[in-house]
Amino acid sequence: MSKRPHVEIYTDGACSGNPGPGGWAVLLRYGKHEKELSGGEKKTTNNRMELTAAIQALQSLKESCSVDLFTDSEYLKRGVTEWMDGWKELGWRRGKPGKTKKLANADLWQTLDRVVEDHHVKWHWVQAHAGNQENERVDALARKAIPS
């Protein structure tokens, strides 16, 4: 089996009001090559934009890759690395067996679960607005993508 290409991904979501209009952005880096992606929605939440950024990033990859994905969203990182298996066991709900509640953003979590399967992803949390150049870059792109 051949070695997977290695891609660095930086993601961010932003909202003007929560809920309100929101934007998401992605920076993909493969060697010396970079690509930016962004988009927005008129009525959404910050968490939905964080999830959308990760989904769009992973869906944009043309082949199975080894990915280092950087996010300033603990919700996204912890959701994927700590909580998702439990939600799946409960039928995409949260809580305890016999006493479950609706899972917020279940549609996006299910989509993310599917797109992650195609890649080997390592999830990294970075502190927002702390001088990380790539995080600041995707933050600015996400804010710019918010529909007016």
Residue tagged active-site, from 22, 23, 41, 72: 72
Active site residue 85: no
Q: Answer whether the bond into residue 5 is a cis peptide, omega within 30°.
A: no
- Residue 113 annotated to the active site: no
- Annotated active-site residue 12? The verdict is yes
Q: Which two tokens stand for residue 9?
A: 């991904």
Active site residue 50: yes
Q: Which of 22, 40, 41, 50 is catalytic?
A: 50
Residue among 33, 98, 129, 131 flagged as catalytic:
129
Q: Decide if 6 is catalytic.
A: no
DSSP state of 140: H
Whether 13 is catalytic: yes
Catalytic residue among 23, 41, 79, 139: 139
Instruction: Collect all residues with Cβ–Cβ distance below 8 Å to 132 and sequence separation of at least 6.
Output: 70, 126
Q: Could you give the residue numbers annotated as active site?
A: 12-13, 50, 72, 129, 139
